[in-house]
């Protein structure tokens, strides 16, 4: 194996672009090859190309313009002249490993990608992330995917362009894998998945124990005398998170010798904000098909509560309700909902600390993936009560 074979792919791309600028006499503002052209020429992923271009942009060799492409910078000739000098310092810079986001300098930026921030789970998760990164001297750049895979991809690319050293990603609900996330894994880019993971693909991730959380909810409602216990999800697809919580629900009922009623596993509807009488969940609650409900997210918990009120039912006198995460509380002592507490602040804090560890230890990051599972607790408040005797 010769020395050229040992040169990282991202560096080969950088050397090629520098050579183009010098040999073709490219001037300030001239366009360099597109990402697609570079991907085809070097047979590499988009992530590798983005890493290479981000490094050149950080060195002021090129200027990247979102939506237009990359162009020769005004300082390119000066930078290239320095790069060609055979000094020890230039060699050290040129052969720096691609462990730090593929950039040649530390940006101090960590990206956090969330589907949304409409609930307290996301807010408290973000607080935990920011606390850890502030302690370590990093800045947080938060981007929202709006639960769309295409927007999530754009967020990843934008953070790459900014020179983010690593990312914390709460993936969107999609049946197919995000190719950008797979590309980051293949290129060795540091990232941590939060709440969800990619089945069959080894990555660092941290999540609450959904099975244990569902079991806690079932056990509590069972002790209160409830036997018709429904579990509800408004996720458009059966994600790993949803599947694990439903499995925990079924396992808990089986341990009690109860039969699983498929009608009590309510998942065949899309997310909704306005309660309407023609909604299947409205009809289910109005007809009192169950005496207790477990909702797999806090927003849905609030919607079930409103629907029960609209149907003339009282909580917890007529209907008991447990949600994953608290849909109402700003302060812990103001909570009114019985809920599965997932310690989202702690999840965010631990995820950020793990990412910094991965960034600083590239070799460990490549050979050992960590799976962090946080045990939940049940917080009992006013939305659950004993089963009301039939009159």
pLDDT at residue 206 in the model = 95
CATH code for position 183: 3.40.50.2300
pLDDT at residue 81 in the model = 39
CATH code for position 46: 1.10.10.10
pLDDT at residue 7 in the model = 65
Residue 194 is assigned to a structural domain of this protein: yes
Residue 380 is assigned to a structural domain of this protein: no
Residue 99 is assigned to a structural domain of this protein: no
Last-in-domain residue among 72, 95, 117 = 72
Residue written as token pair 């600083």: 360
Looking at per-residue confidence, does 24 or 127 come out higher? 127
Structural domain harbouring 15: 9-72
- Assess whether 278 and 322 both reside in one domain: yes
- Assess whether 220 and 367 both reside in one domain: no
Q: Where are the beta strands (DSSP E) in the chain?
A: 62-65, 69-72, 109-114, 139-144, 166-169, 191-194, 205-208, 229-232, 265-266, 292-295, 320-324, 338-341, 371-374, 377-379
- Over residues 180-217, the pLDDT tens digits come to 888 888 888 999 999 887 777 788 999 999 999 999 99
| Tokens encoding 161 | 């362009």
- Assess whether 286 and 333 both reside in one domain: yes
- Assess whether 134 and 203 both reside in one domain: yes
- Assess whether 225 and 320 both reside in one domain: yes
Residue 80 is assigned to a structural domain of this protein: no
Q: Sheet of 191-194: strands edge to edge?
A: 139-144, 109-114, 166-169, 191-194, 205-208, 371-374
- Over residues 128-148, the pLDDT tens digits come to 999 999 999 999 999 999 888
- Assess whether 153 and 126 both reside in one domain: yes
Looking at per-residue confidence, does 159 or 95 come out higher? 159
Rounded-to-integer distance, Cα 67 and Cα 69, Å:
6
- Assess whether 124 and 187 both reside in one domain: yes
- Assess whether 253 and 181 both reside in one domain: no
String of DSSP letters for 167-235:
EEE-----SSPPHHHHHHHHHT--EEEES---TT----EEEE-HHHHHHHHHHHHHHTT---EEEE---
Residue 81 is assigned to a structural domain of this protein: no
- Assess whether 24 and 124 both reside in one domain: no
| Tokens encoding 5 | 């074979």
For range 97-109, the mean pLDDT: 54
- Assess whether 188 and 115 both reside in one domain: yes
| Tokens encoding 166 | 């690593």
Residue 103 is assigned to a structural domain of this protein: no
- Assess whether 234 and 335 both reside in one domain: yes
- Assess whether 261 and 222 both reside in one domain: yes
- Over residues 313-369, the pLDDT tens digits come to 999 999 999 999 988 865 566 688 999 999 999 999 999 999 999 998 865 545 578
pLDDT at residue 241 in the model = 85
pLDDT at residue 83 in the model = 40
**258 phi/psi in degrees, rounded to 5:** -90, 150
Q: Tell me if residue 333 falls in helix, strand or coil.
A: helix
Q: How many domains does the chain have?
A: 3
Residue 386 is assigned to a structural domain of this protein: no
For range 105-134, the mean pLDDT: 88
Residue 50 is assigned to a structural domain of this protein: yes
Pairing of strands 69-72, 62-65: antiparallel
């Amino acid at each position: 194996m010769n020395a050229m074979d040992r040169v990282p792919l991202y560096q080969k791309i950088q050397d090629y672009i520098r050579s183009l600028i010098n040999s073709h006499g490219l001037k300030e503002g001239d366009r360099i090859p597109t990402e697609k052209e570079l991907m085809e020429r070097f047979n590499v992923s988009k992530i590798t190309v983005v890493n290479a271009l981000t490094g050149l942009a950080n060195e002021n060799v090129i200027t990247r313009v979102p939506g237009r492409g990359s162009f020769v910078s005004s300082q390119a000739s000066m930078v290239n002249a320095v790069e060609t000098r055979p000094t020890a310092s230039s060699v050290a810079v040129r052969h720096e490993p691609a462990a730090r986001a593929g950039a040649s300098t530390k940006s101090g930026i960590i990206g956090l990608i969330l589907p949304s921030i409409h609930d307290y789970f996301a807010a408290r998760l973000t607080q935990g992330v920011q606390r850890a990164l502030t302690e370590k001297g990093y800045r947080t750049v938060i981007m929202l995917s709006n639960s769309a895979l295409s927007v999530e991809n754009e967020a990843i690319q934008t953070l790459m362009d900014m020179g983010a050293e690593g990312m914390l990603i709460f993936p969107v609900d999609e049946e197919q894998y995000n190719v950008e996330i797979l590309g980051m894994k293949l290129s060795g880019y540091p990232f941590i998945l939060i709440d969800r993971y990619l089945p069959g693909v080894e990555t660092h991730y941290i999540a609450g124990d959904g099975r244990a959380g569902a079991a806690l909810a079932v056990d509590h409602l069972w002790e209160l005398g409830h036997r018709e216990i429904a579990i509800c999800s408004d996720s458009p697809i059966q994600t790993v998170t949803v599947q694990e919580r439903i499995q925990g629900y079924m396992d808990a009922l089986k341990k009690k010798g109860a039969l699983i009623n498929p009608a009590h596993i309510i998942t065949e509807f899309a997310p909704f904000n306005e309660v309407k009488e023609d909604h299947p969940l409205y009809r289910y609650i109005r007809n009192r098909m169950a005496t207790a409900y477990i909702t797999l997210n806090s927003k849905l918990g609030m919607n079930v509560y409103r629907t029960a009120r609209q149907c003339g039912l009282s909580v917890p006198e007529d209907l008991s309700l447990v949600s994953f995460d608290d849909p109402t509380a700003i302060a812990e002592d103001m909570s009114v909902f019985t809920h599965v507490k997932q310690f989202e602040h702690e999840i965010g804090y631990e995820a950020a600390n793990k990412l910094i560890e991965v960034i600083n230890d590239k070799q460990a990051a490549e050979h050992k993936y960590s799976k962090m599972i946080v045990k939940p607790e049940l917080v009992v408040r006013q939305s659950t009560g004993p089963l009301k005797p039939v009159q």
